[in-house]
């Protein structure tokens, strides 16, 4: 088998270098597993799975026979990544259920990603906040610390495991809280270290439990296996070097000593600081899709406590129903505009790797869930889901200059750039602009008043500024090819409910129309819109109407128009 491979400029051991795959470890001819779409600068991997890996430049053409692919699969044959969120592993009973679920797929070789148990991340954050002001001598008595200890020890006892699995971590956690209490400060870096205890404990317990059941498992801390991130504590981005590193480590260990990997979700390691970072709330979804892409898996499964992605947040409206299919673009938009069900960045690795994501319910395995793929048949699709993002800030900015002045928009946006604040929705004319600010600039907190005052101060140098708080963005995720129909229906509903829309934004995105309303009206709007679009046969009626219209269109194209 001929292998010609060249990655000019990439040092073999550099983080950008593709990982050496199973072939070399098994003593076969060397090849690059090329889990790295980062096989730059020598060339970009165009296709990572299958028999041929081509790179854009250089002489990198790799062919492998079917037999060697089968051997490779046998050697490093992870097939799926299964991520279980906090709700799925909230207790010993839930861990038993999840273990049973994993074992019910004997044909799969999964990589498992876990979040912290139940509400542990929230409790860790609360404990940290309290430690800042409680005094060092009281840090051990923080109620949330007691809740965390009790939950993990009870779980271990109920699963018949050894308490030593987490006792060291619990001691360390208590010491950390004492340190915070002594310093009277909780920096973002310390906050990330603090919340990492949740995933570090849940994965250790679960790996021990699988081993007890006779299913060999190995626990991994993501920050130790190559999850390399920016140093943006509390909301770090995953760097490209992560993909080859993670693939190399997981595949290498599997070849040496096969065991199901149980990986901490949500965590990484800052590339400069080498400190533990987190990927933003809900970041375990991103851990899962990153592993999916790194290993070129067949499917990424995220197991939650709902029957898939729903037509709206079930906490806002209980009549929400599952959406069977979504595109990566729709799912990303939905997540970005506030649907808590998926992490906003999590679709990127899946889309880049072309790997389907399946959202399933660990409490109701039979529910088909939602399948998210690159494309889907949109011909019959009108509205897919309604998303609400509350408590956002809106700015109306009107130029102090006359019509015909150029550069106004550029000036406005350069102010936001200078202040490092990102903008969600924009509606604009030549002399005025309305926009909403992204409160999740730092995912864990709202924009603080000081920052807002500063924005307004800067903008007032060139414009009249009106700051409007307590607004909500209602995002209509759907087929924007049918935007007139969606808007007609939506405005009908809103008019009937006496709601005035304060801003509309239908950007370049093919899937999202955003409406801004006052917070106090937002939930009622979502409920009314949901009832109108999803519950009264509207979608099938509209489909019928459209078929008729399309028929007319065919006629007109055929020359009957105007007859």
85 binds ligand ADP (CB under 6 A): yes
532 binds ligand ADP (CB under 6 A): no
CB of 112 to ligand PHD, least distance (A): 13
338 binds ligand PHD (CB under 6 A): no
Among 38, 68, 76, 88, binds ligand ADP (CB under 6 A): 88
Q: What is the DSSP letter of 355?
A: -
Count how many Cα atoms sit within 13 Å of the Cα of residue 231 in the half-sphere of its side chain: 8
Q: Which of residues 300-329 bind ligand ADP (CB under 6 A)?
A: 304-306, 309-310, 312-315
Q: How far apart are CA 53 and CA 363, in angstroms?
A: 40
198 binds ligand PHD (CB under 6 A): yes
* Contact region with ligand PHD (CB under 6 A), list: 114-122, 150-158, 327-335, 495-503: 114-122
Q: Please state the separation of Cα 238 from the chain's center in Å.
A: 12
Q: Which of residues 346-405 bind ligand ADP (CB under 6 A)?
A: 385
Instruction: Please state whether beta strands 260-264 and 217-220 pair in parallel, antiparallel, or not at all (unpaired).
Output: parallel
Among 42, 265, 268, 369, binds ligand PHD (CB under 6 A): 265
CB of 47 to ligand PHD, least distance (A): 30
Q: Per DSSP, which regions of 189-324 are E strands? A: 217-220, 228-229, 260-264, 267-270, 276-278, 299-304
End-to-end CA distance of the chain: 69
Residue (of 263, 260, 256) closest to 222 by Cα position: 263
Cβ proximity to ligand PHD: between 188 and 282 the closer is: 282
The dihedral through the CA atoms of 403, 404, 407, 409 has a sign that is: positive
Q: Which of residues 129-168 bind ligand PHD (CB under 6 A)?
A: none
Cβ proximity to ligand PHD: between 121 and 242 the closer is: 121
- SS3 assignment for 383-433: EEEEEEEEEEEEEEEEECCCCCCCCHHHHHHHHHHHHCCCEEEEEECCCEE
317 binds ligand PHD (CB under 6 A): no
> What are the residues whose beta carbons fall under 8 Å from the beta carbon of 345, sequence distance 6 or more?
237, 238, 279, 280, 286
How far is it between the farthest Cα atoms of the chain?
90
Cβ proximity to ligand ADP: between 134 and 306 the closer is: 306
Cβ proximity to ligand PHD: between 203 and 436 the closer is: 203
Task: For 260, list phi and psi in degrees, rounded to 5.
Answer: -65, 125
344 binds ligand PHD (CB under 6 A): no
CB of 277 to ligand PHD, least distance (A): 13
Cβ proximity to ligand ADP: between 58 and 314 the closer is: 314
Cβ proximity to ligand PHD: between 335 and 395 the closer is: 335
Residues at the site binding ligand ADP, with contacts judged by CB under 6 A: 85-88, 115, 282, 304-306, 309-310, 312-315, 339-341, 385
Residues at the site binding ligand PHD, with contacts judged by CB under 6 A: 85-86, 115-116, 121, 198, 265-266, 281-284
């Amino acid at each position: 088998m001929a292998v010609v491979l060249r990655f000019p400029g990439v040092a073999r051991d550099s983080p950008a270098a593709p990982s050496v795959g199973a072939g070399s470890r098994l003593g076969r001819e060397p090849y690059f597993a090329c889990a790295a779409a980062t096989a730059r600068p020598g060339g970009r991997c165009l296709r990572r799975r299958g028999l041929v890996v081509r790179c854009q430049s250089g002489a990198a053409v790799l062919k492998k026979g079917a037999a060697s692919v089968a051997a490779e699969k046998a050697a490093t044959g992870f097939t799926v990544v299964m991520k279980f969120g906090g709700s799925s592993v909230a207790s010993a009973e839930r861990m038993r259920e999840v273990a049973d679920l994993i074992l019910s797929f004997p044909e799969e070789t999964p990589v498992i990603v876990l979040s912290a148990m139940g509400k542990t991340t929230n409790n860790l954050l609360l404990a940290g906040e309290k430690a800042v002001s409680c005094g060092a001598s009281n840090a051990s008595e923080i109620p949330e610390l007691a809740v965390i200890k009790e939950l993990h020890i009870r779980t271990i006892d109920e699963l018949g495991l050894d308490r030593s699995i987490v006792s060291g971590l619990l001691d360390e956690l208590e010491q950390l809280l004492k340190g915070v209490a002594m310093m009277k400060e909780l920096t973002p870096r310390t906050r990330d270290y603090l919340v990492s205890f949740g995933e570090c404990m849940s994965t250790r317990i679960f790996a021990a439990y699988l081993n007890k059941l006779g299913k060999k498992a190995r626990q991994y801390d993501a920050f130790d296996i190559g999850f390399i991130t920016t140093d943006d504590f509390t909301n770090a981005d995953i760097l490209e070097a992560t993909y080859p590193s993670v693939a190399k480590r997981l595949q290498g260990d599997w070849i040496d000593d096969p065991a199901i990997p149980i990986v901490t979700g949500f965590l990484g390691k800052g590339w400069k600081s080498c400190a533990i970072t987190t990927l933003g709330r809900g970041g375990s979804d991103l851990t899962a899709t990153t592993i999916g892409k790194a290993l070129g898996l067949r499917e990424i499964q995220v197991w939650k406590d709902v029957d898939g992605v729903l037509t709206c947040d079930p906490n806002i409206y209980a009549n929400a129903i599952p959406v069977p299919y979504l595109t990566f673009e729709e799912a990303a938009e939905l997540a970005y505009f506030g649907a808590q069900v998926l992490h906003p960045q999590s679709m990127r690795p899946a889309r880049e790797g072309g790997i389907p994501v399946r959202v399933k319910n660990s409490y109701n395995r039979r529910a088909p869930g939602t399948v998210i793929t690159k494309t889907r048949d949109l011909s019959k699709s009108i509205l897919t889901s309604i998303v609400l993002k509350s408590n956002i800030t809106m700015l109306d900015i009107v130029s102090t200059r006359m019509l015909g002045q150029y550069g106004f928009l550029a000036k406005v946006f350069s102010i936001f750039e200078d202040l490092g604040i990102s903008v969600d929705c924009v509606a604009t004319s030549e002399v005025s602009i309305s926009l909403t600010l992204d409160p999740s600039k730092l995912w864990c907190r709202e924009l603080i008043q000081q920052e807002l005052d500063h924005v307004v101060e800067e903008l007032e140098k060139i414009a009249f500024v009106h700051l409007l708080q307590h607004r909500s963005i209602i995002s209509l995720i759907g087929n924007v090819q049918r935007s007139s129909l969606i808007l007609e229906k939506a405005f009908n509903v809103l008019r009937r409910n006496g709601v005035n829309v304060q801003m509309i934004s239908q950007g370049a995105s093919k899937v999202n129309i955003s409406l801004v309303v006052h917070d106090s009206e937002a939930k009622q709007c979502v409920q009314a819109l949901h009832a109108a679009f999803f519950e009264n046969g509207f979608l099938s009626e509209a489909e019928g109407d459209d078929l008729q219209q399309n028929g007319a269109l065919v006629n007109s194209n055929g020359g009957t128009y105007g007859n």
